[in-house]
A and B are shown apart, each in its own frame.
Chain A
Amino acid sequence: MIVFIARRLVISFFVLLAATFIIYVLTAFAGDPLEDLRQDNSPQKLTKIAERSERMQLDVPVVLRYLGWLGRIVRGDLGVNRDGQALAPILSDALSATLQLVLAATVLAITVGIVIGIISALRQYSGFDYTVTFAAFICFSLPLFWVAVMLKQYVAIEFNNWLKDPVIPPVVIGALALLGGLIFGALTVGDRRRRLVAFAVGLVVSGALFTILSVTRWFADPGLGTPLILAFGLATAVGFTALAAGLQYRGPLYAALAAAVIGAICSQVLGPVLADPTWLEIGGLLLLTIAVCLGLGYALGGLQRRQAMTAATLTGVFTGAMVFLDRMLQAFAGFSASVRHRPVSTIGARTPNYQGDFWQTGLDSAGHLLLPTLALILISLATYTRFSRASMLEVMNQDYVRTARAKGLPERTVVLKHAFRNGLIPVTTMMAFDLAGVIGGAVVTENVFGWRGMGFMFTKGLQEVDPGPVMAFFIVTGTAVVVFNMIADILYAYLDPRIRLS
């Protein structure tokens, strides 16, 4: 293992070295770094040109310039850009902006994508499966920038207009209800009658839901309230118990239900604490929730202690998230008024000079993150769905899954313990690759939404024919690619003992 890592690191070091040279030379030849100054008509034109030539050492051959850059990098000095600003702070700002933008999108895409992929693999050749496959293909074929401009128009501008008087027109309610019915029907297995019943139930439930939302003008002043939190919490408690332990065991079920009830009580009691918290306090509350839930599972779990702890913790964290969401939604009306009723914004990372409490600034960043996150999710969601579906199908065909079924294990155990865990192995390695790519930022998304992250720094450097920022970008992304590729290999060998590293 250590030999493997050492060898890979040495090889990767030389690969990176060669790549830096090529990129440096290519960037230096990308155009004329003095182009903007040549069109300058001010009297200081010549001084400016001389100054920039001096700073960028334009009189030195490219290869020598590269060697100079390499010498500085070895000493840990990123250098300056062509305007003389130090690159280290610029790089760290860009990196944090990019991580903010991309992390949420990636985590969401991974979770949702894996869940959808697995369901569509388990329901192969159902209506749901065909729909997901088709949707994934469409997502693969969407030009990101085109989607981004569409989102700006329809999700930001028109949605903001609609929020001023949030009444859902009857036609839209009908369409949404139909959609809900179709989803219910496609997910149900069984004969035609059962599917029709599921379709009708979905139709009525979603129709009623959206009518209520529209009549009460929920979108103008949204919120969940304790009863809804309790209801959702109990439902998730049942769901997580069914997944983690199976519903026939009482212990885990009681532990999860207790976690949901305590969470709902907390949403009433914690009012003063949650009035204007900090992220540190939120983190503390999260840890406390996990500790309490683990305790509940331990105390009430009986023989299924481990499963009970899992179910209770998942339920507790989910209910906590609902309480958090509830507080955030309650702050929405005030926030919306403070940004002139345009909560979804299209440009930048935050409203300039915005002042507000924890929830309002949170909503402000959420409003700015919404569109780019949606655009980014579309593509990677499709990738994860397809990938986890294929991997899951592969695993479901293995002999050990058939053996597990043959010896009479319940379907839950077969799917979750035998198939799911093995099916996730290839997905894990893909996640590692993906995370490496993510750090490079989303060049197109950042461009459309005016986000000053890594991609922006990189394209700006390229357009200005300034090797400094481009190289700073590459040092980070190139290293990330190398490191994450190695992590992917090691993870794969660790998760699947049949693979040997050599």
Chain B
Amino acid sequence: MAAAGDIRSALDLELVPPAPPPQKKAAPPAVRKPEGISRELFSLIGPSSTTLVAQLAKPRLKQKPNLGQGSKIKWEWRAFKNGARTDSLQLHHWTKASADPNEEYQFAKYNVQPVAYTYSQDEYTRFLEDEEWTKEETDYLMNIVREYDTRWYVILDRYDFPSPKERTMEDIKDRYCAVCRKLIRNRPWAGDDASKNLLMASFNFDKDREVMRKKYVASLEGRTKEQIAEEEALYMEIKRLEQNERRFKRDRDDLLRTIAGIESGLPDIVEDEAALTGMLLDAKRNKRKGGDLDSPATPLLGGSIRRIPTVPKNTAYDLQHCITRTDQTGTTKAAHQPAYLRSFKLPFPKASVAPKVSQTLTELGVSHTRLVMPTHANVALLEGLIDAATSLVETKKVVDKVDYDIQVLKNRLGMQGPATKMEEGEDGMEVDDGNDAEGDIDAEGEDGRAQSVVSTRSARSRKQARRSVSVSSVDTSATVSTRAGTKRQRRN
């Protein structure tokens, strides 16, 4: 007796795991006798003979729509407000008189704005540098994409940037998607990995493939009538040849079988060879009986099945024994990692930002030095949290720096009025003196709030802003931009 699996493998079909045991048979629901058939006949043939039933059952027609009957509906020509509009354009439409006039315009919700990705200078230099694109052009691209709501044909039409290269649609799409992808990948992500990957996938763009596809489409559409006719004729010819070939092969196969039997080999006929080896393997497998039901149903090639007797790889088993498996490839025999306590391996923020990161976390009620349950998963979560906090602290630092630069420039602009250079210097000194006394104490007190998650304005920037007055005028230590600004002033 051949099992279903044997037949399948003989036919070179994929082995499927045996069907789950049939569910407990529910008592057949009492089937109602269809109309148009006598009770005796129905009890004889049962509900299964569908053809009979289908023939005998009366055709069921759709109920006639109830038109024009019932109460009359009144329609009105009414003005309405579209909540999605920013202008105050007033439009009218027909609406049921019974509808609430204050109701929100039902199509307003479809005005969905795509997420506009923006990036800071720092992010640009770190992730988004590209030889083909300048930052200015990338900025322009991101703006125009937002303006025209990712309608690429419109964008391409309006795209007008004095770039050295003519941009094709693929160029701008590719750049836009690449920028978005890189930003998503490198920024801390609030949700789980699956949603991140999903979003990343939505920005996948294969430029070469797209170019190729368009070329194909163009050539397909560009054929002449004669070419199409010729192609079709050729196609029919090929089909015919293939059919002939197949028939010929089958005949030859039959002949060989009748003459030489199963040992004939049949070297040319691929299908049969595969079926044969499949049969042979199957015989082997049957001998080994015991049936690995959970072994993957991969096609067995060459018949050499190596099975290393290791610990069964089974998640339930692993969970029970607290086993985690790591990818073995790549691990060398180098050093053995000694036994450790999970909490020894708690992640630690980078030294440069550690105090601020830990302060941020403390505010959120999380201690990064101790966990209640330092399990593998929780340690990984903590790592993600610390990464996010580090990134936050670094962003704030950059904001502070930019703030400082802005203050410097503002002061410079403010002072470049009628005052002469000498007076400027003196002014600056005075302001500086006045500030240092009270300013520093102030700043010390506020420093705690500087990294506060909830604070809206960093106090450090205020502190720097105060100092900036002196820095800009007295050319001592300062940031690059300050010095550059001062020099320009001197030249002037």
**A, B bound:** no
Interface residues of B (CB under 8 A from A): none
Interface residues of A (CB under 8 A from B): none
